[in-house]
Amino acid sequence: MLREFEKIVDTNSNGIDAAELKAVAARLRERQFIFKESRALGRTYDILVSQQDYFEDLFAAFGDEFFVDNHFGYCGIIPKANRPGLNQLETIFLLILAKMHDMECRKARSENGRSQPSEAILLDEYCLATGREKPKPRDTKSALDRLRKAGVIELGKVNELSEMQEITILPSIMRVVSANYLTALSAFTDSPASDDDQDEDESETEAEDSQ
């Protein structure tokens, strides 16, 4: 791996020095997913893709999987080691958003792997799945912001009707939920929890904190 690092740095034609190569790895570790279309991270994406073999070996050394999705134009890492998980509300939102995204894609309502279902449906689905009342606005905002930082959604302007930020679900969401996410979601139906439980419980999902 060190030899490959030196080979990349010594290749003058690629314009990558040691500091930048280290910074790219650190940036991916921090964000977990890097998208090609990101204006601020376009160079980072290009380096990750052009040096895919190196980064696969680098992150494999930590027990993580580095991947490149050329179809939807993003790359990322799936950590195999445990990290701080999501709390219960964040986990339920994640699973519901995965369900919504899957439905939108099946109905050909996605573009470049992204879907934009109505944000108000999220809370309706939450009540339907759990049998609980809608979360408090501040808790909803906090949970969605956590998922934004995890790189599975983007948040837009506030919709005056729903009083929620518009949600764009990214293709990376299907990388951090297991194939049986619907089963996982149904498990919450029979396990009501208080607001305190939502703040304290840690999830068992594969979604990772990218911060």
pTM comes to: 0.79
Residue 17's pLDDT is what?
85
- pLDDT tens, position by position, 198-207: 444 444 444 4
Residue 134's pLDDT is what?
94
Read off the tokens for 201: 């419980």
* pLDDT of 53 over the 80 cut: yes
Confidence of residue 8 (pLDDT cuts 50, 70, 90): confident
Confidence of residue 13 (pLDDT cuts 50, 70, 90): low
Mean of per-residue pLDDT scores for the chain: 84
Residue 81's pLDDT is what?
59
Residue 199's pLDDT is what?
43
For residue 94, the tally of other CB atoms under 10 A from its CB is 27
For residue 211, the tally of other CB atoms under 10 A from its CB is 11
For the domain made up of 88-200, the CATH class stated in words is: mainly alpha
Domain ranges of the chain: 2-78, 88-200
The angle at the Cα of 64, spanning 188 to 68, to the nearest 5 degrees, equals: 95
* pLDDT of 208 over the 70 cut: no
Q: How far is residue 116 from each of residues 27, 30, 104, 191, measured CA to CA in Å? A: 27, 25, 8, 29
